[in-house]
Structure 1
Amino acid sequence: MSIVIWADGRLCGPGDPVVTAVDHGLTVGDGIFETCSVADGHAFALTRHLRRLARSARGLGLTDPDEDAIRAGVEAVLAAAGPDVGRVRITVTAGPGPLGSNRAEPGTARQTVLVLAGPVVRSAVARVVRVPWVRNERSAVAGLKTTSYAENVVALAQAYRRGADEALLANTVGELCEGTGSNVLVERGGELVTPGLASGCLAGITRELLLEWAAEDGLPVREARAGELPFEVLDAVAAGTGHLSLSGSIRNVVPVVSLDERDVVPGELSLAARHLFETRSAENVDP
Structure 2
Amino acid sequence: MRLVPTLVLVLLSAALLPATVQAHEFFVVPRGDAGKAAPVIVEAQAAHVFLRSAEVEKADNVRVELLAADGKRQPLTLSPGTASKALEGTITGPVSGPAWLVGHRLPEVWSATTEGVLPGDRAALEAQGKTVRSVGRYEKFAKTALVPGGDAAFWSRPLGQTLEIVPLAPLDALKAGDVLPLQVLLDGKPVPQAEVGVSHEGYSEEEDAYKQILRTDAEGRVSLRPDAPALWLARVAVTRPAKDATGADEENLRATLLFPVK
What TM-score do the two structures reach when normalised by structure 1?
Answer: 0.27
Larger helix share, 1 or 2: 1
What TM-score do the two structures reach when normalised by structure 2?
Answer: 0.29
Larger strand share, 1 or 2: 2
